[in-house]
Amino acid sequence: MVINASSAIATLDVLFRNADLRDEEFQSPSCEPVPNARVTIECRVPEATVAGQFFGQVYLYNWDEDDWQLAGAEFPFATWINTLTAGAPNAQPYGGSMRLPFDVPDADRYVEQGSGELRMRLVIYSPIGLTHTVHWDLVQLVRTSDPLAASEGALRAGDHNYDQQRDLTDVAAFTVDYNASSPAADYNLDGVVDADDLQRFVTLYTQP
């Protein structure tokens, strides 16, 4: 899949249906099945030629908080893809490409009860405002009984432009997307951009 970013941000939303992450063959000491997930991502940004041009983030939808949550905080996803920078855990950078696995312990909290849906959002952005093309080669989700150490990141909380800050630039970016009925402004994930999304953005942006 190829995504051309008309702005400095490219996003890909992935929906996993019937995401049964409980491994009945592996039991924890409490005899409860352990619901862990391993995600592997492969992508390429041909425009990435110099360190610091492009970064990436991986979010999972937290149904309890009704908001996106940054995944794998101990892995450099918030500063993930300069694809030319070596040293990222498990990363194999080569020629503008990245193959990166990461684990999510207790991942069933991101699975909606009833529908069994798990939503993932992959974000590639340029802090210096470069438009770009993202070639997605693989987004894989599997169960694992032996997760790598990882911790949660922060909730998105109205950070509309994904720069890890909540300020007036988020309001401006949301206003542009909202007026254009862009899917980026669909905060309640119902497929329609309307006043409910505006209310949800305001709630998230203004919460402590």
Judge: domain 2-153, CATH 1.20.120.
no
DSSP H helix total and E strand total for the chain: 2, 10
Q: Which two tokens stand for residue 167?
A: 């300020």
CA 189 to the chain's CA centroid: 15
In sequence order, what are the residues at sequence separation of 6 or more whose Cβ sits closer than 8 angstroms to the Cβ of residue 9?
A: 123, 124, 125, 126, 161, 162, 184
Q: Residue 56: pLDDT band by 50, 70, 90 thresholds?
A: confident
CA 93 to the chain's CA centroid: 20
Q: Enter the pTM of the model.
A: 0.76
Taking the domains of the chain in order of start, what are their residue ranges? 2-153, 157-208
Q: What is the predicted pLDDT for the residue at 91? A: 47
Of 37 and 160, more confident: 160
Is pLDDT above 50 for 93? Answer: no
Q: Across the chain, what does the average pLDDT equal?
A: 75
Is pLDDT above 50 for 87? Answer: no
In sequence order, what are the residues at sequence separation of 6 or more whose Cβ sits closer than 8 angstroms to the Cβ of residue 35?
A: 21, 22, 23, 106, 107, 108, 111, 143
Burial degree of 191 (CB within 10 A; 0-12, 13-18, 19+): exposed
Q: Which two tokens stand for residue 134?
A: 């993202």
Cα separation, 59 vs 165, in Å, equals 16
**What is the rounded average pLDDT of the residues 45-58?**
72
Proportion of the chain above pLDDT 70, given as a percent: 70
